[in-house]
Amino acid sequence: MKKSASFLLVLVVLFFGSCSSSSDSPDSENPNPGENPDPTSIDKTANLRATGDSGSDILSNTNFDKLLIEIDYVVGHKPNESAITGFTDYLKEHTFKEDIEVTYSELSSPDKETLTLQEVADLEQEHRNSYNSGKTLAIYIYFADAPDDTDEPDNDIVTLGAVYRNTSMVIYQKTIQDLAQKGGLITTVDIETATLNHEFGHLFGLVNLGTDMVNPHEDVVRDENGDPVLTDGEETPNNHCNANICLMRAELQFGRTNKSASAKVNSNKVYSSCALNGNTLLSKMKSNAAKGLLVFPGLDTDCILDIQAIGGR
């Protein structure tokens, strides 16, 4: 049933009154510059570009000095607070953003056995509230209660997360929770943090995904025997690092679509160039723990050089 215009106005006033900034001089037109009161009336195009296109804006303070991270999660699948702390620490380590705000919204389940990436994008379109505004750059993360539709559990292929636009990602939280149950000393927090950090590395533009490489360090797509897959007679790049120890290591992912050199968005389909393989990541984390190493590594030297070249730390 449609609500009257006056009732809707009251709800809007109440909502933004409760979320207004405590700043001494708030914006009178929009008390919270990271939130948009009417998403249908704003220009969303800056948040609907290809993965990696906003790397410099995320890393530097030239155009945006605040990150607003909107997290929508299905009931029962909220990310762990410690994982979000580790994630924001990672952002502060590599970007110049000191002002990072995280907001949460609990959503009902879409009641899907699996989710296509296009369905995730449709859910974002339905529920996302925050878009770039003023000096605030907005990121959207959806924590799902259903696995990716391309998963092959019988073949130990389960997807933990994916990026599909310059400010959008999905975390398959139910899959992470299930994986953690067989992780031994590896916790849900470990897997959540590794997944968030890896996928956000792609929003930085790594590797060669919108951010040029200072030194060549991109690996190639390989078949089940480890041999390079050729496309038109050329080895196929896979937007992941070839270093032995790096958060963006190629062996942590599998090529779901590999649509050219970056994730693509058009009016019909959404693609991702990265699908983080849960079982491979868990195996690597267990191996690191057994060796007394960090359960998941940070960015290697070449990846850091790449982001520094476009305004990162």
Q: What is the pLDDT of residues 256-266, one digit of tens each?
A: 444 433 334 44
What is the rounded CA–CA span in Å between residue 194 and residue 137?
23
Q: 0.85 cut: is pTM over it?
A: no
pLDDT confidence tier of residue 6, bands split at 50, 70 and 90: very low
| Sign of the dihedral defined by the CA atoms of residues 77, 82, 86, 89, in that order | positive
Residues 155-170 have pLDDT tens digits of 888 899 999 999 999 9
225-241 burial code (b ≥16 CB/10 A, e <16): eeeeeeeeeeebbbbbb
Least confident of 29-38, 43-52, 123-132: 29-38
Tokens representing 121?
């994008």
287 sits in which H/E element: helix 278-290
Strands in the chain per DSSP E: 66-74, 99-107, 136-143, 161-165, 168-171, 218-220, 230-231, 234-235, 237-241, 253-254, 275-276
Least confident of 75-89, 112-126, 234-248: 234-248
pLDDT confidence tier of residue 207, bands split at 50, 70 and 90: very high
Q: Where are the alpha helices (DSSP H) in 4-162?
A: 5-18, 55-59, 81-94, 117-127
8 Å CB contact between 129 and 39: yes
